[in-house]
Structure formats: structure tokens, C-alpha cells
Amino acid sequence: MVRQYESVRFADVHKQIMHLIPKSPSHILDIGAGTGRDAAGFAAMGHLVTAVEPTAELRRRATVLHACPRVEWLDDCLPELAALSGRDAAFDVVMLTAVWMHLDEQQRRCAMPRVAALIRPKGVMMLSLRHGPVPVGRRMFNVTPAETARLARAEGLTCVQYVADEDSLLKRPGVTWDRLAFIKAANSGTGDPGAGGLG
């Protein structure tokens, strides 16, 4: 897994949403940060990153591969995000790269309000959904962009970008991706009734 994650560049994985990442130094939450590739990429852009990863071995490898004082590692996990919830933290960007489809339906309903509560008004949430054959020993669910947008909209998050893509970097047979980006309403209450055509 470490070799696979580190075999693709941060800028290549996220080229379709890079324009949504603030240019000025911001606070970014990377949920399911894995080997730290994305956290290190954000830090290199000048951002302060809180990297959440529940797997101890991945956290240990990440701190060796991407040692950086601008990245704080935290042992926490979806759907509760209990450690983060107790910090009264707020973030300009929340990133969930290849994470959301590991949650079952009940966990997704529980997780969305927790994640949305961590986003500052006008902040951005970006996530990717993997589709296709499930690797041996992994747990994944077929999560649709429409369901994701409905859950997000209920929490004041409006879909501003949706891209369906092939597995162009790793080229795994049958694997495709949906990449979505949401912006939180300025009043942090209810969001725009539209959802980028995904309602």
C-alpha cells in the first residue's frame, strides 16, 4: 500500500481540484491521510495540515517518509472523529481522498455532519469515490455521487465540482473514480438547494 500510494504525485492526483485550494496559508484537514503524500503536498504549498490516520503503521511510515513540522499527525477515524470533535477545530479545506467508500450507509450518514462541522464557512470539502473491483482484504461500498451530494447539501455544503474519471494514474482494470468538491455556505446553516446536478 505504501509503494502504491507513493508511486503517484500529489499534484497529479489532485490536478482537477487544485484551483480550489487556497493560495494563502490555510489550515487543512486530511482525513485518512495514509502515507502522508497529500499532507506533505499541502505543507509544501505553505499550509498547516492536520493529518488524521487510524492505522498506526501508516502513521509511523508517514512520519519517516514526509517529516515536516507543518504536519500534525492524529490518531482518529470516521465516522465519529472523536479526537477532532473535542478540539473545537475548524478548517479551510477538508480532504477525503479514497476514504468515503470505506464507510457503510449508516456510517456515512453519521460522518457527514461530523465532517461538515469541522469546515469553516466558505471552506471547501473535497473527496474521491473509488468504483470497481474491491482489493482482497479491503472493505468498500458502492457509493454514488448523488447520495454524497444529498448528505452534504443537508449540512450546508454545495457541490461546485464533479468529475468522473478513469484510473488514469495506476491504470487498474475496471477501476473508475468520482471526484467531488463542495463549498460550505457562508452562514454555515442550510446550503444552496442545488447540488451541481447531483440531487
Looking at residue 152, what DSSP letter applies?
A: H
- Per the CB < 8 A criterion, the answer to whether 18 and 83 are in contact is no
**Residues for the chain: how many in total?**
199
- What topology does CATH give the domain 2-184? Rossmann fold (3.40.50)
Residue ranges per structural domain of the chain: 2-184
- Per the CB < 8 A criterion, the answer to whether 61 and 35 are in contact is yes
Half-sphere exposure (Cβ direction) of 11: Cα atoms closer than 13 Å: 2
pLDDT tier, 196 (very low <50, low <70, confident <90, very high otherwise): very low
Number of Cβ within a 10 Å radius of residue 177: 19
First CA to last CA distance, the chain: 34
Task: Output the CA–CA distances (angstroms, integers) from residue 49 to 12, 20, 41, 45, 108, in the order listed.
Answer: 19, 16, 10, 11, 23
Each residue's pLDDT tens digit, 131-156: 988 888 889 999 999 999 999 999 99
pLDDT of res. 156: 97
Sheet of 157-166, strand order:
71-74, 48-52, 27-31, 91-96, 119-131, 176-184, 157-166
Each residue's pLDDT tens digit, 66-85: 989 999 999 999 999 999 98
Predicted TM-score (pTM) of this structure: 0.86
1-19 in b/e form (b: 16+ CB < 10 A) is eeeebbeeebeebbeebee
| Nearest CA-CA partner of 66 in 23, 94, 37, 95 | 37
Each residue's pLDDT tens digit, 26-78: 999 999 999 999 999 999 999 999 999 999 999 999 999 898 999 999 999 99
pLDDT of res. 190: 39
How far apart are the C-alpha atoms of 109 and 60, rounded to whole Å? 30
